[in-house]
Copies of this chain bind each other. A is one copy, B any other.
């Protein structure tokens, strides 16, 4: 079943211990869509500027991603400049040039309205809610957010949380959102705000999905070199949600399996700069890594 994702399509300038890259294709919706494209149909709603060339669009369309909902606006695309040189686990933002993204008003093409799965990537929660309201018939709604919205715009975020079947965030965000320092209590606190389930990502250690009274942990793949962690969380979300959308029945086992696929796609994303690694991977390689991840975590 098709996923509609709304979020940023952007360029990233990155520095990590492995090297530097200028203006590589990035953005939450891009990473998510690429990861999910290995499992199901994906439709993107976003906005780009005149610097978004056919070669950039081809990264998505070559994987079957529907880019009809990517609006072109005069000016430049969203551009993020970040560094992981001081700390691989926390990006240091050097510059955020919103450009055309500053006036982003998501417009959903008519052909997207029958999407069964909606993913609200990390954007202004006011826009997330607006998109959610335009898609009343979806089967499932998942989403992401970040410390900026949690801290400075909590009142705008709370109505979004109440719409979510699954919120995917990291440890720090879960603690900030709930006000709880303990991981389990933080997750329970987040669920009390609305989402039916929360997937908390622990970086190099894996991720835990919490529902009322239940937890499931998937390990991360031990990687000898994390070239670029940008987009790893979005790729996790794409693998997780893409797998769910590809299944006809959503059982507890489907969700457990989806956690492992999330981990697979998240680990792949880290192995090269930007979208390079997901562009070249195959479903076969994803299956191999899935089985490897099971082998290193199942007795």
From B185, B205, B225, B294, contact of A202 by CB (8 A): B205
On whether the beta carbons of B184 and A223 are closer than 8 Å, the reply is: yes
| 0 or 1 for each of A10-52: is its CB under 8 Å from B? (1 = yes) | 0000000000000000000000000000000000000000000
From B188, B214, B260, B296, contact of A217 by CB (8 A): B296
CA distance A236 to B294 in the complex (A): 23
| 0 or 1 for each of A181-211: is its CB under 8 Å from B? (1 = yes) | 1111101100000000000001011101010
On whether the beta carbons of B184 and A216 are closer than 8 Å, the reply is: no
Q: How many copies does the complex hold?
A: 2
List residues of chain B with CB within 8 A of the CB of A223.
182, 184
**Nearest-Cβ distance from residue A70 to partner chain B, whole angstroms:** 35
23 A-B pairs whose Cβ atoms sit less than 8 Å apart in the complex = A88-B181, A182-B223, A182-B225, A182-B226, A183-B204, A184-B222, A184-B224, A185-B225, A188-B224, A205-B205, A205-B206, A206-B206, A206-B219, A208-B222, A210-B222, A214-B296, A215-B222, A217-B296, A219-B219, A256-B298, A256-B299, A257-B299, A294-B299
